[in-house]
Structure 1
Amino acid sequence: MGKIFKDDASVLVNDDPIGNEFHLCECGYEECRPTKPYEFIPIDYWVIHYCISGEGFFQILDKQNHIHPGDIFMIPPHTRNKYYPDAKNPWSYRWIGLRGTNVKKVLARCGLSPEHYVIHHKVDPQLESLFEKVYDHFQKDHELMALGSAYYLLDYLSNNVRNARLDHLSPGELYFHSVLNYIHKNYFNNITVSDIAAAANIDRTYVFKLFQKYMDMSPSQYLQHYRLDKACVLLRKSSLSITDIGYAVGFQHSPYFTKLFTQYMGVTPSEYRKEFMQFGGDDNFSSP
């Protein structure tokens, strides 16, 4: 087999983010030679690899995965990890590195989370092409095009690769996926844990067990946090009153919403909105 890339390896880095929510900080590729296993120093950003050819091994939290062509594996921030090529059939792969407050949520929609580091997938020319486009735009200093291509890549993972992965989930994972899907589509209604269990056709106790296993929190806590995250978006991006925002994300009583929001964010909804609006004002308008 001939060389896949022009060089054995290349890495591109951008340490000047446009914003703090989602930043494409790195991308690259490597055509590996057989090496001895060694542990990598934990990094402070997320990295998603796509294996193009060959084989290798990825170990994280003492769990080893055998990686084949088409597989995707993720390294989260501040996590010990080890990965290396198969000695007889060394792999080649592309990767992107991401920083930002929204990266974890975006990757979760792609089926990548602290509970699921690997997606076993088929060889996918479309996915390889998307990784390549990110690199090409990055290399040409087309920062916004590279960022757009990264979003396109992740959308492809979410709507194509992730759906294929659901066929290989355990019964518990499938139930949990169903529960999350119900919450995400109905969080603004006055839903309860019993409603969530009924929608998934499982017992309330089992719902609690699933959330403890996959989220280390109760379903009520997850629903509450999800609603408050949605409230943050509305406070930043809408002119709705605080009372209306509370109702819009599923809270029936405004004082209770304000109390929970203050506990969750460390500031009141009014203070949160004021900080954001003040930042926008200083950035875009001159003082009178």
Structure 2
Amino acid sequence: MDICYCYHGKQVCEPSYSWGPGIKEQYKIMFIHAGRGVYQIDGKTFHLQQGEGFIVYDNILCYMEADPTDPWIYSWIAFSGNGVIPLFEQAHISPLHPVFRYSPLFWFDSYLDEFSACDVNHSTSELRRQSILFRSLADWIDMLVATSQLLPEVRPKDAYIRKAVEFIRMNYNQRVSISEVAHIVGIDRVYLSVLFKEILNVSPQQYLLNLRMDKAGDLLDNSQLSITEVSYSVGYSDPLLFSKMFKKVKGLSPSHFRSRLKRDSSMGLSSLD
């Protein structure tokens, strides 16, 4: 199974402490041990408390904020790999349904102690951390399945949107039509558009466009790919059309967007001198 341990941790948050909006490079399972807070992902807001948890997805914009009077304490385990999404699907977890409740009998702290006890200089430490990761994930899945009545009920509408969003996110760099998405989901194209507007407040076309431009912005910022290469990487075979759509969404051409990022970065570094 292609899942690799990255890191783990625990944090006692200050009142109103926040992170984001931003993008993480790994998946994270967050367990709330005390207090309250707000989690936002993909345009949805969740008000969470002790005994609940949530998933941070890689490369999906999210935001976290602790309650001003009862700030949360949470722990997490971060990992990456192509096997993560199928694992989440076993627990009916997705970007549209990233929240779960967990049993008080599921003592995640014991796994944190095991991770921390691994000597990073030991020749088998990486194998030991992988072993702990797989055991903790297996127990987490078993816990969710055993207490499935605690999971949020998924409405048919939400299930359609979840399937559509997952397909779009997996294929945004290909030639994707909304008719194809509707066919994959198993509903009429018009009804799919109605559901996107109702639940996500955007059309499926706009959702796909925004996703592509967000991914393009990441590539312009974090890679040396040419504008043409970025264009192909996010599903556009015509670089001129890509540049036109990028400017429409981001307000700048791809080249100006990249040069501004470099300028802002250099100004930030010079201010530290």
Q: Tell me the TM-score normalized by structure 2.
A: 0.54
Q: Residues 198, 12 of structure 1: CA spacing in aligned structure 2 closer, same or farther, 3 A cutoff?
A: closer
Contact 2:33 2:51 in 1 (8 A): no
Amino acid at match of 2:216: A
1:120 matched to which residue of 2? 101
The residue that corresponds to 2:14 in the other structure is: 13
String of CA shifts for 1:169-221, please: whole Å, max 9, x gaps: 22222222111111111111111001111122222122112211221111000
* Structure 2: gaps (5+ residues): 1-10, 25-30, 41-45, 56-62, 76-88, 115-132
Say how many residue pairs are matched: 206
1:277 has 2:258 as partner: no
After superposition, the Cα gap between the structure-2 partners of 1:180 and 1:127, relative to the gap in structure 1 and judged at 3 Å, is: farther
Aligned counterpart in structure 1 of residue 250 of structure 2, from 265, 275, 279: 265
1:240 is the counterpart of 2:225 = yes
SS of the aligned residue for 1:125 comes to coil
Deviation at 1:112, TM superposition (A): 8.4
> Please, which of 178, 186, 198 is the counterpart of residue 171 of structure 2?
186
Q: What SS is found at the alignment partner of 1:13?
A: coil
Q: Distance in 2 between matches of 1:233 and 1:210?
A: 28
Name 2:210's counterpart in structure 1: 225
SS in structure 1 of the partner of residue 161 of structure 2: helix
Question: For 1:234, what is the secondary structure of its paired residue?
Answer: helix
- 1:1-288 map, 5 Å: 11-13=12-14, 30=34, 46=39, 70-72=51-53, 94-95=73-74, 119-123=100-104, 125-127=106-108, 160=141, 168-282=153-267
Distance 1:274 1:190 in 2: 28
2-structure distance, mates of 1:124, 1:276: 47
Residue of structure 2 equivalent to 1:35: none
CA, structure 1 residues 28+213, in 2 after alignment: closer, same or farther (shift >3 Å)?
Answer: closer
| CA RMSD in angstroms, aligned pairs only | 5.3
Change (3 A) 1:17 1:77: closer
For the 8 Å contact 2:219–2:230, the answer to whether it is kept is yes
* Aligned mates of 1:82, 1:13 — CA distance in 2: 9
**Separation in structure 2 between the aligned mates of residue 18 and residue 206 of structure 1, nearest angstrom:** 33
Distance 1:120 1:18, change over 3 A: closer
Aligned partners of 2:97 and 2:237: how far apart in 1? 35
Structure ID, larger Rg = 1
Q: Provide the TM-score with structure 1 as the length reference.
A: 0.51
The one-letter code of the counterpart of 1:13 is E
Change (3 A) 1:228 1:168: same
The 2-side partners of 1:171 and 1:177 are apart by: 10
Deviation, 1:225, is: 0.4
| Letter matched to residue 125 of structure 1 | F
On the 8 A contact 1:190/1:250 being kept in 2, the answer is yes
Distance 1:208 1:235 in 2: 30
Contact 1:95/1:131, CA 8 A, preserved across alignment:
no
Q: Could you say if the C-alpha distance between residues 172 and 18 of structure 1 is closer, same or farther in structure 2, counting changes exceeding 3 Å?
A: closer
Q: Check 1:21–1:178 CA distance in 2 against 1; reply closer, same or farther (3 A cut).
A: closer
Partners of 1:132 and 1:216 lie apart in 2 by: 43
